[in-house]
Structure 1
Amino acid sequence: MRHKLTYILFLFLLLNSFSTEAQSAKQKALEAKRIKIQKELKQLNVFLFSNKKEEKSVVSLVENLNYKVNVRRNLIKVTNDQANLLTREINANQNEITSLRDQLTALKKDYSEMIVKSYKNKSEQSRMMFLLSSDDFKQAYKRLQYIKQYTDYQKEQGDLIKGKTTKLQELNTDLLRQKADKDKLIVENRAVKKELEKELKEQDRLMASIRKNLSSYSSKIKKKQQDIDAIDREINRLIREAIAASNKKAGKSESSSDFSLTPEAKLIAKNFISNKGKLPWPVVKGVVTVRFGTQRSPIDPTVSFKSKGVRIATDKSAKVRAVFEGEVMTVAVHKNSNPVVLIKHGNYITAYRNLSKVYVRKGDKISAKQEIGEVFTNNAGKTILGFAVFKNSIPQNPASWIFEM
């Protein structure tokens, strides 16, 4: 029965240990995420809001503010998750402390009774009489073993009390730290919520001015999206032309939708795929302000647009770098837009849009992280890089390819 209880206690402690480790890992992951979002907010302030007075477009200001509001809400959510997890950890810690105190009370009681009993029988004469009163040698040997086991058990109980006392002290220290961490998170969250309230009021103020002439602003949004769509169509045309040229050179059907690859190009494509999720950012510092896929305008929810890549806010005159080795497929300049560089990585293409300067030419061999140009900075001081990834002519989500995008 005693062995069974020991086994159950061991199993409980083991499961509790696993649970504690899992919570600790989750807490570390949440803390890393919180720090990352805080960094993103700081970068947003630098890249998008440092020249707020120079911003001429209300639409652009609302779009940027909308993104910032969403990031701040995400920060509040992550901080709340951390605080809630800490609350659960604190409760579990308090329960464990209560359990340990109860165990210590029982252990000390048993130990004190054992010490009293041992004191009464501590004389060498008593022990000798206990051994000599044995009926035979076998019984004497068993009694000797009993005395030894009883002495060892006393020592074990003493060590167990010391161990549990130390554990209790550690838990109390940990509990104080957890409560301090939670209080800090609550204070920080209050400050973040105040900032959010200010931003929401600013957003409401701007939206009120927009609603007075919503149709005009909606037209501007649609026109801006039409210009972006036109560049998308041009990029798609250039890729399809490159596919047709590769197939013609290989003596295959020009109507194929896939690149015909040389052995070298196949190897580059294979390496590109093996680095999925690990590719470097196309700029050293940046924040994604428009993500991949279909999205609704924050100005007019009835207007939606499809983003075939991402838009990254970055430093003024930031250098653009290739995310992987490859060959410059083309440097294109569409009417009323800034240059676009397309780099071929086997049957994958990366596109770098809105450049002010281009350092490369068609046919150049490119290495990973090689600088290929600079990002254009507009009159309002905004520096936005358009970045896209294609498999043949099919757009891919850059967030699946770039490290921690």
Structure 2
Amino acid sequence: MKRHKIFFLFLFIFLGVQAYAQNSAELKRKKEAIQREIELLQKNLNKAASAKKLTLGEIRALNAKIGLMQSKITVINSEIKNLDNQIHENTNTVHSLRDQLGQLKKEYAGMIRFAQRNKNAYDKMMFVFAAKDFNQAYKRIKYLQQFGQYRKKQADYIQGTEKNLNNKIVVLDKSLKEKSSLLKEQESERQKLGKDKSEQSAVLNRFSKQEKQFSQDIAKRKKQQQAIDREIRNAIEREIALAKKRAEEEERLEAAKAKAENRPVPVAAKTKSNGAYLTATPEAARLSAAFESNRGSLPWPVAQGSITESFGRHKEGQANYDNTGITIQTAEGASIRAVFNGKVLRVMSSLGKYFVLIKHGEYFTVYQNLHSVSVAAGDNVTTKQTIGTVSTSGDIPELQFQIWRGTTAQNPEAWIAK
């Protein structure tokens, strides 16, 4: 029975270690990913600071960096909590193993004393011959054999338990040192966060002094973005109109063919949605369905980046504006990638920068603020294919990324991988 308890204790220890290792590795990966984003934003901030001109990109980068640092501290807290649980479990296991070891040694000592009393062959023979009958004598012989085997097994159990106890003590000591290291890291990150929040206050103070200039810049940017969005909507509407025209022409030809063959003329639907026209062909329908099935797992349009402005309504000072996509800060000269298979619908330029519109059935993706473009209208592209390089907006390399379903803008954060 005790052997079963020891077995289940070891099994519990093994499973606990496996679960802890997996959770710990996941937290470590998450922390490293956050740190890479922080370093990228800091690199952009350093470059922007050297220009000695405050920009909206710099403000967004600083705000995003502070958010990431708070997330990193949260991850460190989770690591500490994870370690505390493991330390608690290991401490309990050490106590349990020590109790088990004490009991095993006590039982083993009893067996040794019995063996000492019956150590010579004469005593063993007397023990056998003292039996009432042959059957009992046989059982006593088997007992002596099994006793020797059991004593050897007990010795093995004691050695195994001592080994596991020592290993667990080593792991416990390592966990305590790791916790101490994490507490130091946590304190260091809190100090950095405090410094960045002071910098944020200074930046916001500069912003308030230059609010009039920033309001003008925001109004200008808003006007430019509205013009680009109009071009995008117009391009999508033209594509819908062409799809509708093709569908109506096919219906007309089918009706004429049916009439010539003296067959009933197919009744065309009076109204169709834009999506129905855009997915009228089997290929377009499959592509659209495949795009939609990848919601939440589409690759990012850059290999490394951080979202510094989310989808929807925003306010800077007294100025309000809408972001029909997300703003991603990335590395200088970074390659911009198509997030899914599709066909390049338009390549347009505005104020010396490019934007690319790609069709995926009834869905469209838009990549704005490109310095150069490596595709042309009509090209078929594949997932993660490079379509251009990012431009620098006010000394900050930023990509404006959008997803549309027909003429309705979607929140890209709901579509790209976390």
1:209-228 C-alpha deviation (Å, 9 max, x unpaired): 33456566456445534543
Contact 2:279/2:288 (8 A) holds in 1: no
Separation of aligned partners in 1, 2:223 and 2:185: 42
- Which residue in the other structure is 2:284 paired with? 265
Q: 2:395 aligns with which of 372, 376, 381?
A: 381
- Which residue in the other structure is 2:273 paired with? 256
Contact 1:282/1:321 (8 A) holds in 2: yes
Tell me, what secondary structure is at the counterpart of 2:392?
Answer: coil
User: Percent identity between the aligned chains?
Assistant: 33
Cα distance, 1:108–1:88 mapped onto 2, change above 3 Å: same
Tell me, what secondary structure is at the counterpart of 2:53?
Answer: coil
Separation of aligned partners in 1, 2:235 and 2:168: 65
Give matches, 1:37-76, under 5 Å. Answer: 37-76=34-73
- Which residue in the other structure is 2:366 paired with? 351
TM-score, scaled to structure 1: 0.87
Separation of aligned partners in 2, 1:57 and 1:25: 43
Cα distance, 1:363–1:17 mapped onto 2, change above 3 Å: same
Cα distance, 1:353–1:55 mapped onto 2, change above 3 Å: farther
Q: 1:283 aligns with which of 302, 308, 314?
A: 302
CA RMSD after TM alignment? 2.8
Confirm whether residue 372 of structure 1 aligns to residue 390 of structure 2. no
Q: 1:327 aligns with which of 317, 320, 343?
A: 343
Q: 1:242 aligns with which of 221, 239, 242?
A: 239
- Which residue in the other structure is 2:353 paired with? 338
Confirm whether residue 207 of structure 1 aligns to residue 204 of structure 2. yes
Give matches, 1:27-46, under 5 Å. Answer: 27-46=24-43
In structure 2, runs of 5+ residues without a counterpart are 249-268
Separation of aligned partners in 2, 1:233 and 1:125: 108
Q: 1:167 aligns with which of 147, 164, 168?
A: 164
Cα shift at 1:9: 6.3
Tell me, what secondary structure is at the counterpart of 2:166?
Answer: helix
Letter in structure 2 aligned against 1:398: P
Separation of aligned partners in 2, 1:138 and 1:247: 99
What is the number of residues matched between the two proteins?
Answer: 396
Cα shift at 1:305: 4.9
Contact 2:357/2:365 (8 A) holds in 1: yes
Separation of aligned partners in 1, 2:150 and 2:322: 74
In structure 1, runs of 5+ residues without a counterpart are none
Tell me, what secondary structure is at the counterpart of 2:402?
Answer: strand
Letter in structure 2 aligned against 1:343: I
Cα shift at 1:108: 1.2
Separation of aligned partners in 2, 1:19 and 1:225: 55
Letter in structure 1 aligned against 2:332: K
Cα shift at 1:71: 0.8
Give matches, 1:290-309, under 5 Å. Answer: 290-291=309-310, 293-294=311-312, 296-297=314-315, 299-300=316-317, 305-309=321-325
Contact 2:345/2:378 (8 A) holds in 1: yes
- Which residue in the other structure is 2:125 paired with? 128
Mark the structure with the bigger radius of gyration: 2
Letter in structure 1 aligned against 2:402: A
TM-score, scaled to structure 2: 0.84
Separation of aligned partners in 1, 2:45 and 2:242: 41
Letter in structure 2 aligned against 1:207: L
Cα shift at 1:330: 1.2
Separation of aligned partners in 2, 1:113 and 1:147: 15
Cα shift at 1:15: 4.9
- Which residue in the other structure is 1:197 paired with? 194
Cα distance, 1:194–1:267 mapped onto 2, change above 3 Å: same
Separation of aligned partners in 2, 1:269 and 1:260: 7
